[in-house]
């Protein structure tokens, strides 16, 4: 899975101090503090870096609220977690308390994949031999900007590596099996988890899509919804409509368990959310539904993903929580039939999916 922009002018925009030694670095610290989905997007690129530098120890600095997934991976030697929620002063206080532990690791390289005042402050205090900073504003996909940031270190090229090894490969599977999962059936994840109305595909559309799927594949399918408590009412609606065909694991898994379960899926239909990016980094065929979200920043890339977005509309990708027209036509125009067709186009590729 590789998609690269070979444009020197873009990489030159990255603020960096490249690695100059002939010896490879032994200690690397990567920093990503905000948002589960954005943090998850960094992982396949850091895994690629690890693959190219197998002797190096890579540590990760993140927020306590999103540290479960990085802690569950073999990728990182140490994971440092900043407390304080989203309060900057509390975060800074927590980071200051962590500083002696991080300093003791003597990182030669710091990759700032956040580039906010706190991450910049930490990087400067650590005074590494080599560092680079994320470009927050380029109209490029977040993954592409992660790639450019890592490559600006001068340690070689990186690409998307979806082979993220979980310390516990069976995490969450007992929960899935206890809920009635049949491994012989297709597992299709429905994820109505957009954070506000302009990111929400109508719930009835999910139901109509599921019924189209069941009709096409002789009902040899189980649908799954999982996530945090806030989407519980949506899951209940889907359960009422789809009955025994739906497994509801909302608020019953940790993020790392959700990641392990996602890796068992055959297909994911998702709004812009953290779970969408978990599917993408796992190489699971994914249809992304983007209303007000910026597809140039957040859409999953590659042959295993399709993003239905609003970039073609004059009002598209507005990033507003409420639709100025009151109808969210950027999303409602994508019918269940269109999404079903897009999913079928993905699944015709036998390299992506071996069975139907």
**Of 186, 183, 167, the residue nearest 254 (C-alpha):** 167
| Cα separation, 135 vs 142, whole angstroms | 9
- Residue 60 within a domain: yes
130 shares a domain with 211: no
Q: How far apart are the C-alpha atoms of 172 and 174, rounded to whole Å?
A: 5
- Who wins on pLDDT, 349 or 278? 278
The alpha helices in 217-298, defined as continuous H runs, are 232-242, 255-262, 274-281, 295-298
Q: Are residues 20 and 79 in the same domain?
A: yes
In a domain, 158, yes or no: no
pLDDT-based confidence at residue 108 (cuts at 50, 70, 90) = very high
Q: Mapping DSSP to helix (H, G, I), strand (E, B) and coil, where does residue 277 land?
A: helix
**One domain for residues 19 and 143:** yes
The model's pLDDT over 72-91, given as tens digits with 9 standing for 90+, comes to: 999 999 999 999 998 999 99
The answer to the question of residue 1 being in a domain is: no
**Residue 349 confidence (pLDDT):** 66
**What is the mean pLDDT of the segment spanning 301-309?**
89
User: Domain holding 206: CATH number?
Assistant: 3.40.50.2000
Q: How many CA within 13 A on the CB side of residue 188?
A: 26
Instruction: Look at residue 58 in the predicted model and tell me its pLDDT.
Output: 98
Residues 145 and 273 in one domain: no
Q: Which two tokens stand for residue 241?
A: 């409509």
What is the distance between the alpha carbons of residues 48 and 177, in angstroms, rounded to a whole number?
32
* Residue-level pLDDT at 5: 37
Same domain, 268 and 190: yes
In a domain, 163, yes or no: no
Whether 196 and 335 share a structural domain:
yes
pLDDT (mean) for 230-258:
96
| Dihedral sign (CA 113, 114, 118, 124) | positive
**133 and 219, same domain (yes or no):** no
Q: Write out the residue range of the structural domain in which residue 210 sits.
A: 173-347
How many domains does one find in the chain? 2
**Whether residue 104 is found in the same domain as residue 188:** no
Does any domain span residue 340?
Answer: yes
**Mean pLDDT, to the nearest integer, of 338-342?**
96
The pTM is what? 0.88
186 and 314 part of one domain: yes
- pLDDT tens, residue by residue, 160-215: 876 788 998 888 999 999 999 999 999 999 999 999 999 999 999 999 999 999 99
Q: Within 13 Å of residue 133, how many CA atoms lie on the same side as its CB? A: 17
Same domain, 143 and 231: no
Torsion (CA) 23, 27, 32, 36 in degrees, nearest 10: 110
* SS3 at position 338: helix
Query: Given this model, what pLDDT does residue 247 score?
Result: 97
Q: What is the pLDDT of residue 356?
A: 42
Q: How far apart are CA 302 and CA 300, in angstroms?
A: 7
Q: Of 22-26, 84-88, 150-154, which range is least confident?
A: 84-88
279 burial (CB, 10 Å; 0-12 / 13-18 / 19+) is buried
Residue 7 has pLDDT above 80, yes or no: no
Instruction: State the Cα–Cα distance between residues 210 and 237, nearest whole angstrom.
Output: 13
Q: Which of 242, 78, 278, 256 is nearest to 171 (CA)?
A: 256
Q: Is residue 352 part of a domain?
A: no
- For the chain, the straight-line distance linking the first and the last C-alpha, in angstroms and rounded, comes to 22
Looking at the fold, whether 280 and 249 belong to one and the same domain comes out as: yes
Pair 157, 245: CB distance under 8 Å = no
Same domain, 195 and 68: no
Position 217 scores a pLDDT of 83
- E strand segments, the chain: 16-17, 27-31, 57-63, 78-82, 109-112, 130-133, 186-191, 221-227, 246-250, 267-271, 286-289, 305-308
Q: What is the pLDDT of residues 314-328, one digit of tens each?
A: 999 999 999 999 999
161 in a structural domain? no
Residue 356 lies in a domain: no
Output DSSP code: residue 286. E
């Amino acid at each position: 899975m590789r998609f690269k922009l070979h444009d020197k002018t873009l990489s030159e925009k990255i603020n960096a101090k490249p690695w100059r030694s002939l010896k490879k670095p032994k200690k690397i610290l990567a920093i990503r503090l905000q948002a589960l989905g954005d943090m998850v997007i960094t992982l396949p690129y850091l895994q690629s870096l690890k693959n190219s530098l197998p002797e190096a120890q890579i540590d990760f600095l993140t927020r306590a609220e999103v540290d479960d997934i990085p802690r569950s991976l073999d990728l990182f030697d140490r994971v440092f977690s900043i407390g304080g929620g989203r309060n900057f002063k509390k975060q800074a206080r927590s980071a200051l308390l962590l500083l002696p532990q991080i300093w003791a690791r003597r990182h030669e390289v710091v990759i700032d994949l956040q580039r906010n005042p706190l991450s910049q402050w930490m990087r400067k205090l650590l005074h590494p031999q080599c560092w680079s900073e994320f470009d927050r504003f380029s109209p490029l996909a977040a993954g592409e900007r992660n790639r450019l940031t890592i490559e600006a270190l001068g340690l070689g090229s990186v690409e998307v590596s979806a082979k993220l090894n979980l310390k516990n490969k069976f995490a969450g599977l007992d929960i899935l099996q206890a809920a009635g999962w049949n491994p012989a059936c297709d597992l299709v994840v429905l994820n109505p988890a957009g954070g506000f109305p302009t990111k929400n595909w109508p719930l009835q559309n999910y139901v109509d899509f599921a019924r189209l799927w069941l009709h096409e594949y002789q009902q040899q399918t189980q649908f799954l919804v999982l996530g945090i408590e806030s989407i519980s009412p949506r899951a209940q609606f889907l359960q009422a409509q789809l009955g025994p065909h739906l497994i509801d694991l909302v608020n019953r898994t940790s993020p790392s368990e959700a990641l392990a379960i996602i890796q068992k899926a055959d297909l994911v239909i998702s709004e812009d959310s953290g779970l969408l990016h978990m599917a993408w980094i796992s190489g699971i065929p994914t249809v992304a539904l983007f209303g007000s979200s910026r597809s140039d920043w957040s859409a999953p890339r590659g042959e295993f993903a399709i993003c239905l977005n609003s970039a073609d509309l004059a009002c598209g990708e507005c990033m507003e929580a409420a639709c100025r027209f009151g109808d969210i036509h950027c999303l409602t125009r994508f019918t269940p039939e269109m999404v079903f067709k897009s999913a079928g186009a993905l699944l015709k590729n036998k390299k992506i999916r071996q069975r139907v």
